[in-house]
């Protein structure tokens, strides 16, 4: 029997609130390595991948670019960062919205951090039997232009039967109410059944939201509370907890790295936007942790 990483109180808090903050999860050295690696990924990024010549096919191109990113490392930019001709208006390091969605499996630095034994212990403490990391994202929340994220639940985007999505969000910089920290409605995962699913459309050419309930309840968004955390903190988010973040209009960026896990004993929805090709399946977290620590 392994020693729990989390205390009984922390586990109870997670189930009660739908989120849990674990301070000092990532070290200064780990954070510096992740930031340096993301810098390299952006430097090496080939802009021809997203350069579009007519606005007509731009949407389709971006949909395809997104849908194919589940087993790749791709860069996504802030819309406001481009001029009408599709050229970047600002330095690409400052124009990026996020990198996704498989650096945990493709990039050794992100792999080492994502498959830390402590994270495996934590998600098992929270009740996962056979965790696997479904996706990873480096979120930049740039100073001045970082876009807001509307209230949502992560199981909407990562749907299994039964539901099993768990987010593990790591602050790579201090997250405050000024630079757009996470906000969550405590206990909302227990009060509101999943309302929507984000899926591939029938033609597999784009995505859409579909209602999973006859009638949607209105979330009490006035009950969103800010999760102010220091650099290095880990925030665990239950898949049905309602959360969001404000736009960043401050002069400080708010970098974060997040992985979303699911339980392999639950059925991955064939409708999920994220699909892995047969030759690049999801990896069992426990196996990878053992391999990396051998
Ligand atoms: Fe989320």
- DSSP letter string, 130-194: SEEEEEEEEE---TTTBPPEEEE-GGGTS-EES---EEEEEESS-B-TTTT-EEE-TTHHHHS--
Give 166 Cα–ligand 1 centroid separation in angstroms. 10
Query: pLDDT-derived band of residue 86, with 50, 70 and 90 as boundaries?
Result: confident
Helix (H, G, I), strand (E, B) or coil at 244: strand
For residues 160 and 267, the answer to whether their CB atoms sit within 8 Å is yes
Tell me which residue of 205, 211, 255 sits closest to 233, measured CA to CA.
Answer: 255
What single-letter DSSP state applies at residue 38? H
Residues 6+ apart with CB under 8 A from 123: 131, 166, 168, 236, 261, 285
∠ CA 117-28-93, rounded to 5°: 105
Query: Quick one: the chain helix, strand, coil %, rounded to 5?
Result: 30, 25, 45
Give 153 Cα–ligand 1 centroid separation in angstroms. 6
For all residues of the chain together, what is the average pLDDT? 93
- Other residues' Cβ atoms within 10 Å of the Cβ of residue 21: 20
pLDDT value at residue 169: 98
Give 111 Cα–ligand 1 centroid separation in angstroms. 21
Joined tokens for residue 217: 């309840």
- Does the pLDDT of residue 13 top 90, yes or no? yes
Give 66 Cα–ligand 1 centroid separation in angstroms. 17
For the chain, count helices (H), then strands (E): 9, 15
Give 154 Cα–ligand 1 centroid separation in angstroms. 5
Give 281 Cα–ligand 1 centroid separation in angstroms. 23
Q: C-alpha distances in angstroms, 56 versus 22, 48, 65, 202, 265?
A: 46, 17, 15, 21, 42
Model pTM score: 0.95
Joined tokens for residue 47: 């802009």
d(CA 237, CA 163) in angstroms, rounded, equals 13
For residues 275 and 202, the answer to whether their CB atoms sit within 8 Å is no
d(CA 28, CA 134) in angstroms, rounded, equals 26
Q: For 23-81, where are the E strands, in sequence order?
A: 73-77
Query: pLDDT-derived band of residue 79, with 50, 70 and 90 as boundaries?
Result: confident
Give 163 Cα–ligand 1 centroid separation in angstroms. 15
* Mean pLDDT score, 64-73: 93
Give 200 Cα–ligand 1 centroid separation in angstroms. 18
Give 244 Cα–ligand 1 centroid separation in angstroms. 7
- Does the pLDDT of residue 53 top 60, yes or no? no
- Does the pLDDT of residue 56 top 70, yes or no? no
Give 189 Cα–ligand 1 centroid separation in angstroms. 13
Pairwise pLDDT comparison (137 vs 49), residue with the higher score? 137
Beta-strand pair 166-171/256-263: antiparallel
- Does the pLDDT of residue 59 top 90, yes or no? no
Give 151 Cα–ligand 1 centroid separation in angstroms. 8
In degrees rounded to 5, what are phi and psi of residue 233?
A: -75, 150
Give 116 Cα–ligand 1 centroid separation in angstroms. 21
Structure confidence by residue, pLDDT tens digits, 143-165 = 988 889 999 999 999 999 999 99
Structure confidence by residue, pLDDT tens digits, 128-145 = 999 999 999 999 999 988
Give 58 Cα–ligand 1 centroid separation in angstroms. 26
Give 7 Cα–ligand 1 centroid separation in angstroms. 25
pLDDT value at residue 152: 97
Give 262 Cα–ligand 1 centroid separation in angstroms. 14
Give 49 Cα–ligand 1 centroid separation in angstroms. 26
Among 24-33, 97-106, 202-211, 278-287, whose mean pLDDT is lowest?
202-211
Pairwise pLDDT comparison (95 vs 120), residue with the higher score? 120
């Amino acid at each position: 029997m392994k020693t729990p990483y989390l205390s009984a109180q922390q586990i109870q808090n997670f189930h009660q609130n739908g989120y849990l903050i674990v301070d000092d999860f990532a070290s200064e050295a780990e954070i510096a390595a992740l930031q340096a690696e993301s810098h390299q990924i952006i430097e090496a990024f080939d802009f021809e991948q997203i350069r579009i010549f007519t606005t007509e096919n731009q949407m389709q191109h971006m949909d395809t670019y997104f849908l194919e990113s589940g087993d790749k490392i791709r860069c996504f930019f802030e819309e406001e960062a481009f001029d009408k001709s599709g050229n970047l208006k600002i330095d690409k390091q400052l124009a990026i919205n996020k990198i996704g969605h498989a650096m945990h499996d493709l990039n050794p630095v992100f792999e080492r951090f994502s498959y830390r034994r402590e994270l495996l212990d934590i998600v098992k403490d929270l009740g996962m039997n056979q965790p696997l990391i479904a996706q990873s994202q480096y979120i930049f929340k740039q100073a001045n232009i970082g876009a807001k994220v509307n209230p949502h639940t992560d199981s909407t985007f990562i749907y299994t039967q039964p539901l099993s999505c768990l987010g593990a969000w790591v602050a790579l910089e201090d997250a405050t109410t000024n630079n757009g920290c996470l906000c969550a409605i405590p206990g909302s995962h227990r009060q509101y059944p999943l309302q929507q699913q984000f899926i591939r459309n029938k033609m597999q050419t784009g995505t859409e939201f579909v209602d999973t309930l006859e009638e949607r309840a209105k979330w009490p968004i006035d009950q969103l509370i800010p999760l102010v955390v220091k650099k290095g903190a880990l925030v665990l988010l239950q898949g049905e907890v309602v959360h969001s973040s404000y736009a960043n209009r401050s002069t400080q960026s708010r970098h974060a790295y997040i992985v979303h896990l699911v339980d392999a004993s639950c059925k991955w929805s064939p409708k999920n936007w994220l699909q892995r090709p047969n030759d690049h399946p999801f990896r069992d977290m426990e196996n990878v942790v053992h391999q990396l620590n051998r």
